[in-house]
Amino acid sequence: MGPRKYIDCRELLSETNCSLRISGTEEEVLAASIDHAIRAHGHQDNIELREIIRLNIKDEDDFQSRQLPGYQGKEFEKIRGTHRGPHRI
């Protein structure tokens, strides 16, 4: 399994102001994005659509580092919700 990738409709031109973000392996993101573009945005499945989508798939690490600048280690994990410490209600 390769590194996680993502594509975010908010980063693309969208007439519907779509806010969907898809992440996974590059193959998963490509397949789900093509399906979404066809079903939600009315695009035709063709080589041009696939190339546009492929060019806009980015590394997940790039997204995470842009979202929470200045946080590292356990602080970053707590904010992201990945901290495995005790849960309190």
pTM reported for the whole predicted model: 0.66
Structure tokens at 56: 């806009």
Q: Please report, in tens digits, the pLDDT of each residue of the chain (89 residues total).
A: 678 999 999 998 777 889 999 999 999 999 999 999 999 999 999 999 999 999 999 999 865 555 545 544 444 444 445 444 444 43
Task: For residue 58, give the DSSP letter.
Answer: E
How far apart CA 63 and CA 84 sit, in angstroms, is 22
Structure tokens at 77: 């994990």
Strands (E), the chain: 5-8, 21-24, 58-59
Task: For residue 50, give the DSSP letter.
Answer: H
Question: How many C-beta neighbours within 10 Å does residue 9 have?
Answer: 20
- Domain positions in the chain: 5-63
